[in-house]
Structure 1
Amino acid sequence: MKVLLTGHNGYIGSVLTPMLKAHGHEVVGLDTNYFKRCLFVGELTEVPGFDTDVRTLDGVELEGFDAVIHLAGLSNDPLGDYRPTLTEEINQQASVALAKRAKAAGVPRFLFASSCSNYGAAGADFLDEQASFNPVTPYGVSKVNVEKALNQLADDSFSPTYLRASTAYGVSPLLRFDLVINNLTAWAITTGRVFIKSDGTPWRPMVHVEDIACAYIAVLEAQRSVVHNQAFNVGVTTENYQVRELADIVQDIVPGCKVEYAPDAGPDPRCYRVDCNKIARTLHGFKPQWTVERGIEQLYQAYRDVGLTLEEFEGERYKRIAHIKHLVEDGLLDDHLHWR
C-alpha cells in the first residue's frame, strides 16, 4: 500500500517507518520535525516526505494514497497542559481537517493514533473498548473528540480505525524520557534511585513501542470489514501494572538502585486498567513480543551503551515539553509552535 505516515520522525513513527517498509509498503512521511535533532540511537529511516505542519498541509496532495496513519500531534499530558488551546488546535482540529481532506481525496483507510488516556480517571476495573470516556487532561479530551468526529465521517468510502495505545515504553531512535518506564529506568541508572513522583498506586496498561508499530501494520493489512470504524485497545491485558510495581521491577533489574518516593507524592487522577482481548481476538497479525521486564532490560542496556548521564536525562533533548520550550525560548518556534 501507499501510506502517508504523519509524525514519522517521532518516538513511534521512527520505529514504525522501517517496519512498514520491511512489509513492502510505500511510505511517505509528514512531520514538523520538532524533534529531529533529538536522536538517541541509530538513525532515522529516510523516506520521501513533507516537512510540514499538520495544521497547514502546504503542498500535500492526498490523491493516490491507500491509507493515512495519523500519529502527528502534541504527544503527552505535559505538552497538552502547556497551552491547552494549541492541543485542541493541533491534536483535534487539524486531525479532523486531515481526515476530511483524506476522505475528499478518496483515501479509503484512516488509522488514528488514539490513546487509553481516553479512559482517564477510571479506577482499577478492567476496561474494554465499550467503556465510558473519562479524560482528565487536554490531551485525553482531544483524542476523545477526534474519535467522535471520525465516527461521523465513516461510510462505505472512508474507513477509520482508532488505535488506543497503552502507555508506551522501550528504545526508539527518538527516545522519550517522559514515559514512565523509560523515566524510572533512567533515574535508576543515572542516580541509583527509582524516583516516583506519585504515590505509586495508579494503574497503567503498558506496551512496547515496537508492539505499537506492529498493531498499526496489523490493522493496515487486515480486511476492511474487520477494522472499519472500530476501536482497539493496543497492548496485552496481562501487562497492566501499578506504577509502584513498575518501580519494583526496575529495582530488580538495575543493580544497586532503590525505590524512592517524592516527599510530596500523592495519588495521580489518571488511573485505568485496560482489557486488550479484542485486538488479540480480532487481529491475528498482531502478536506482541515484549513484556515490561524485557523492555526494562533493553532500556538498561541501551542507557549503559550510550553512557547516559543525569544531565542528559534531565535535559531538554529527550523530554518533549522541555524541548518545545527550548525551541520557543531560542526564537525558533513562535508562540503558536510554528517555525519562524
Structure 2
Amino acid sequence: MRILVTGNLGYLGVEMTPLLVGLGHDVVGLDTGYFDGCDFLAPPDPLPTLRIDVRDVTPADLVGFDAVVHLAALSNDPLSDIDPSLTYDINLAASVRLARAAKTAGVGRFVFSSSCSLYGAGSDLELDEGAPFNPVTPYGESKVRVEQELSRLADDDFTPVYLRNATAYGLSRRLRADVVVNNLLGHAVTTGKVLLQSDGTPWRPLVHVLDIAHAFAQVLTAPRQVVHDQAFNVGRVGENYQVIDIAQLVADIVPDCAVGHSVGATPDIRDYRVDFSKIERELPGYRPQWTLRRGIEQLWAAYSDGGMTAEQFEGPQFFRLRTIRQHLDRGRLDSDLRWVST
C-alpha cells in the first residue's frame, strides 16, 4: 500500500512511519518542519518527505496514494492560545480541504487522527464512541467538526476513519514534554518533585505512542466494512487514571521523588474517562501492548540514559508552544504560522 503520512516529523509520526515501512508499505511523509531539530537521543529515520504546509496541499500532490494518514495539526490546547483562529484554519479547514483533495485524487482510505478531547468534560461513566461531544477548547472542537465534515464525504470509493486517541505518552525520537505523563516524569527526574498543574482530581484516558501507531497500522489494512465512516477510541481497557494517581506512580518509580503542586495549580475542567472496548473488540489485529507503569519505566530509563537536565527539560525543544513562540520571536514564522522567506 502506498501511504502519505502528514505530520510525519512530529511526536507520533516519527514512530509511526518506521512501523508502517516495516510492515511493507511504501510511505511518503508531508511536513512543514516546525519541529526540525527537536530531537531526543536520535533523529527521525530518513523518509521521503514533501515539505508542504498542510494548508497548501492539492489533489495533484496526492495522486497515486492508496491511503492518507492525517496527523498534522497544531498539536495541543496551549498552542490554541497563540491565536484560536489558527487552530480552526489548520486543524479544521485545512484537514477538510486535504480530505477533499484526497477524494478527488482517488485516494481510497483517509485515516484521521482525532482525539478523545472532543469529549471535553465528561460524566462519571466511561464514554464510548456514541457519547455526546462536549469539547471545552478550540482543539477539541476542531476534532468534532472535522469528523462531521469527513463523514459527509464518505461513499463507496472513499472511506474516512476517525481514531480518537487518548492522551498520548511515551518515548519518541521527537519527544514531547508537554503531555501529562511525560511532563510529570520530566519534573521528577530533573527536580526530584512531581509537580501537578491541577488539583489532581481530573481523569485522563492514556495511551502509549506506539499503541497509537499500531492502531493506525491495523486500520489501514482492516476490511472496509469494519472501518468505513467509523470512530474508534484508541487506548487500552483499564487505562484511565486520575492525574494524582499518575503522579503517585511516577513517584513510586523514580527514586527520592515527592509529589507536589505547582504555584497556582487549579481544578481542570477537562475531566473524562473513556471506554476502549470497541477497538479491542472490533478492529482486527489490534492488541495494545503498553500499560502506564511500563511506559513510565521506559521513559524514565530514556531520560536517565540521555542525561535529561532541568535546563533542557524547561527549554523550548520539547514543548510545542515554546518552539513555535521561538520561531515567531526570531522572525522565522509570520503571524499565520507560515515560514518567512529569507
**2:314 equivalent in structure 1:** 314
Q: Which residue of 1 aligns with 2:304?
A: 304
Equivalent residue, structure 2, for 1:197: 197
SS in 2 for 1:205: strand
Aligned to 1:180: 180
Shift of 1:285: 1.1
Deviation at 1:58, TM superposition (A): 6.5
3-state secondary structure, aligned to 1:261: strand
Distance 1:240 1:147 in 2: 24
SS in 2 for 1:96: helix
Amino acid of the structure 1 residue aligned with 2:27: V
Which stretch has the larger CA shift, 207-216 or 305-314? 305-314
Contact kept? 1:205, 1:274, Cα under 8 Å: yes
When normalised by structure 2's length, the TM-score is 0.98
Counterpart in 2 of 1:218?
Answer: 218
1:161 Cα deviation after fit: 0.2
**Farther-moved stretch of structure 1 (43-52 vs 22-31):** 43-52
Aligned counterparts of 1:182 and 1:60: Cα–Cα separation in 2: 39
Take 1:333 and 1:266, find their aligned partners in 2: how far apart are those partners? 33
1:143-158 to 2 correspondences below 5 Å: 143-158=143-158
SS across alignment from 2:62: coil
Q: Does 1:70 align with 2:70?
A: yes
Give the residue type in structure 2 aligned to 1:203: W
Identify the residue that residue 124 of structure 2 maps to in structure 1: 124
1:263-302 to 2 correspondences below 5 Å:
263-302=263-302
Cα distance in 1 for partners of 2:42, 2:279 equals 30
Give 1:45 deviation, angstroms: 1.5
How much does 1:90 deviate? 0.2
Structure 1 letter corresponding to 2:170 = G
Give 1:266 shift.
2.0
CA drift of 1:47 comes to 1.6
Does the 8 Å CA contact 1:17/1:27 hold for their aligned counterparts? yes
SS at match of 1:61: helix
Counterpart in the other structure of 2:100: 100
Say which is worse superposed, 310-319 or 50-59, in terms of deviation: 50-59
Displacement, 1:53? 0.3
Q: What is the letter of the counterpart of residue 298 of structure 2?
A: Q
How far apart, in 2, do the equivalents of 1:292 and 1:71 lie?
A: 23
2-structure distance, mates of 1:180, 1:107: 35
Cα offset for 1:262? Answer: 2.5
1:30 is aligned to 30
For 2:307 and 2:175, how far apart are their aligned partners in 1?
15
Any idea what SS the aligned residue of 1:143 has?
Answer: helix
User: How big is each residue's C-alpha offset from its partner over 1:192-241, in whole Å with a ceiling of 9 and x where there is no partner?
Assistant: 00000100000000000000000000100101110000000000120000
Counterpart code for 2:169: Y
What is the CA–CA distance in structure 2 between the aligned matches of 1:339 and 1:208, rounded to whole Å? 32
Indicate yes or no: 2:137 matched with 1:115.
no
Is the contact made by 1:117 and 1:135 (CA closer than 8 Å) also made in structure 2? Answer: yes
- Distance, in Å, in 1 between the alignment partners of 2:238 and 2:60 is 41
CA offsets 1:253-291 (integer angstroms, 9 cap, x no match): 000000001243221000110000000001131111110
2:6, 2:79 → 1: CA distance?
18
Q: Distance in 1 between matches of 2:120 and 2:325?
A: 26
- State the TM-score, normalized to the length of structure 1: 0.98
Q: How far 1:81 moved relative to its partner?
A: 2.4
Residue 91 of structure 1: how far off its partner (Å): 0.3
Identity of aligned residues (%): 56
Q: Does the C-alpha gap of structure 1 residues 199 and 60 become closer, same or farther in structure 2, counting only changes over 3 Å?
A: farther
Residue in 1 that maps onto 2:3: 3
Q: CA deviation at 1:59?
A: 9.1
Tell me how far apart the structure 2 counterparts of residues 142 and 234 of structure 1 sit (CA, whole Å): 18
Deviations 1:73-103 (A, max 9, x none): 1000001222100000000000000000100
- Tell me how far apart the structure 1 counterparts of residues 332 and 124 of structure 2 sit (CA, whole Å): 43
Contact 1:31 1:72 in 2 (8 A): yes
> What's the Cα RMSD here?
1.0
SS of structure 2 residue aligned to 1:226:
helix
1:60 Cα deviation after fit: 5.2
Tell me if structure 2 keeps the 8 A contact 1:124–1:203.
no
The runs of 5 or more residues in structure 1 that have no matched partner are none
Contact in 1 for aligned 2:58/2:101 (Cα 8 Å): no
Q: Residue in 2 aligned with 1:243?
A: 243
